[in-house]
Amino acid sequence: MPLTLIFLLFTAVTLIADAAAHFPVSGDIPTFREAQAFRNGRECRRAAWSAVGADHNLAVIHIAMTLDVTYLRGSVAGVFSVLQHASCPENIVFHFIATMHRRPELRQTITTMFPSLKFRLYYFDSNLVRGKISYSIRRALDQPLNYARIYLADLLPTTVRRIIYFDSDLIVVDDVAKLWSIDLRTHVLGAPEYCHANFTNYFTRRFWSNPSYAASFKGRDVCYFNTGVMVIDLMKWREGEYTEKLENWMRIQKRNRIYELGSLPPFLLVFASDVERVEHRWNQHGLGGDNLEGLCRDLHPGPVSLLHWSGKGKPWLRIDSKKPCPLDSLWAPYDLFRHSSSSSSVFTDN
């Protein structure tokens, strides 16, 4: 059998298995327990945020996340973890991005679980990216909402000048104000960088064999960074028209297939070598294993402020299948999912 055909068959089997694991058949929205209210301490500055998103002082912390049925359990755990460890939780505003599908129910779910949470829900038009997405090695990476991070500067009010972007498969175990307060200096975004990564693995032979594409990295001291945790200066982003720059690489990918990994490579092409370095403690990523098998992994050496289950393996799926990884026990205390009377978590009784 030709090698090309073998690769295509392997890819098809992987996509089918991944779909079965990540996309619920019923489409029912999970039910959750209501979280306790989190209040500011006396040391917190008073923060005000209007309905249209205007900042009245710098005490407001803005966080963006996506919301959908498939990853809702992860998103809820992420929000809960942020609030639980924040020194001034009432000063945090969440900006949720969702497609039209089940949007009213998602809003009601967040309102019910977090009655005092300051948040806005924005509509993301999937048509913005449908013509620009090509299939990757994991189906979850191909979903339009995975590309919403590219459009934050367009979706959020211009009065929101800075944003923290979080993926929906992480928990924060430190005060998010520390991440918010980093100095981006002249950079558009900040993120933990990993300069030991082999950059050639993120792009295809077609990319490296094309002199004009490969020249994109010429003279740049490039390092890998994970786009699941970013601090972004939205004013600089808008001024530099970075959405258009990212879209340009997506169009090239659609024509010539120069990479395999969803929305990450365009960010590397545009921003690598121009990122404000954040401590590694703010993205202990890869806890979901690789994109094909999702095997268990250990923590990277060093202190931890954020645990990120990037990769195929998600803690809520492994817990429900009764096959958790050891580190999934760190995610379980933030799981507000209301288990049925006939089943319960292997780590917690909800």
Tens digit of each residue's pLDDT (9 = 90 or more) over 273-323: 999 999 999 999 999 998 777 789 999 899 999 999 998 899 999 999 999
Angle between helices 264-271 and 242-256 (to 10 degrees): 120
Looking at residue 47, what is its pLDDT?
66
pLDDT in tens, 11-50: 333 433 343 334 343 468 889 999 999 999 888 976 655 5
Pairing of strands 170-172, 162-166: unpaired
Quick one: pLDDT at residue 152?
Answer: 98
- Give Cα separations from 238 to 60, 188, 280, 297 (angstroms): 21, 10, 27, 38
- The number of angstroms, rounded, from the C-alpha of 16 to the middle of its chain's C-alpha atoms is 23
In 3D space, the residue among 261, 60, 78, 271 whose CA is nearest the CA of residue 166 turns out to be: 78
In this prediction, residues 185-211 reach a mean pLDDT of: 93
Q: Tell me the pLDDT tens digit for each residue of 210-235.
A: 999 999 999 999 999 999 999 999 99
Q: What is the DSSP string of 291-317?
A: SSS----PPPSS--SEEE--SS--HHH
Mean pLDDT score across all residues of the chain: 86
What is the four-CA torsion angle of 248, 251, 257, 262, rounded to 10 degrees? 80
pLDDT of the residue at 262: 80
Question: Can you give the pLDDT at residue 135?
Answer: 66
Q: What kind and span of H or E run contains 112?
A: helix 103-113
The CA distance from 253 to 322, in Å, is: 39
Task: Indicate the SS3 state at residue 234.
Answer: helix
Burial class (CB in 10 A: 0-12, 13-18, 19+), 46: exposed
Amino acid at 246: L
In degrees rounded to 5, what are phi and psi of residue 298?
-95, 170
Among 14-18, 136-140, 174-178, 345-349, the minimum mean pLDDT is found in 14-18
- Do 139 and 153 form a contact (C-beta atoms < 8 A)? no
Residue with the larger pLDDT of the pair 10 and 110: 110
Contact 248, 293 (CB under 8 A): no
Using a cut of 0.85, tell me whether the model's pTM lies above it: yes
Higher pLDDT, 3 or 70: 70
How far is 253 from 250, CA to CA, in rounded Å?
5
Return the C-alpha torsion angle 151, 133, 71, 95, nearest 10. Answer: 10
Q: How far apart are CA 61 and CA 94, in angstroms?
A: 8
What pLDDT does 240 receive? 98
Residues 114, 40, 32: CA angle, nearest 5 degrees: 15
Higher pLDDT, 41 or 162: 162
pLDDT at residue 298, rounded to an integer: 93
Tokens 């969440």 — which residue? 94
State the Cα–Cα distance between residues 10 and 137, nearest whole angstrom.
10
- Residues 148, 80, 125: CA angle, nearest 5 degrees: 20
Please state, as a whole number, how many other Cβ atoms lie within 10 Å of the Cβ of residue 96: 21
Q: How far, rounded to the nearest angstrom, does the alpha carbon of residue 144 sit from its chain's CA centroid?
A: 13
Place of tokens 């298995």: 17
Rounded CA-CA distance 187/276 in Å is 6
What pLDDT, on the 0 to 100 scale, is given for residue 300? Answer: 87
CB 54 within 8 A of CB 157: yes
Nearest-5° Cα angle at 345, 339 to 350: 50
